[in-house]
Amino acid sequence: MTSVDLQQQINKHNYWEMLIDELNVDYFCSRVEIKYYNDKSIYYSFINCYKLNFNHCLKYDIIAEKQNGDFSPCFFRDITVNDIEIEGRKLYEVKIDAYPVSLEIWCESIEIKEKSN
């Protein structure tokens, strides 16, 4: 599947301003899973990852939020998927802006699942 096809699948779920419910990194950082809810649960799985870059905004005080009984909300602002080739290996480059977190993921495949609740 091309990055254009994946981008269209992601966009059709109207992810903008949706709260991320779960963000998990498993299997020695080779798999990233993100879940959010928008009329149904949407799951993104980034499989066989080679680069994971997570950044948390220093201006957002996560400690203060936790002390107030809240947890730092991460809302999707933008998701972009591009095809890249590194050392002869075809990968997807995914950039996610979900303030106060931004992610860059290089992976071999992406699965998108939806589940009605």
Q: Rounded distance, CA 66 to CA 63, Å?
A: 5
Q: Is 50 left (phi over 0), alpha (psi -120 to 50) or beta?
A: alpha
pLDDT, one tens digit per residue, over 70-112 is 565 789 999 999 999 999 999 999 999 999 999 999 999 999 9
The 10s digit of each residue's pLDDT in 20-77 is: 999 999 988 899 999 999 989 999 999 999 999 999 888 877 655 655 655 657 899 9
Q: Quick check: 49 and 96 in contact, CB under 8 A?
A: no
Question: What single-letter DSSP state applies at residue 19?
Answer: B
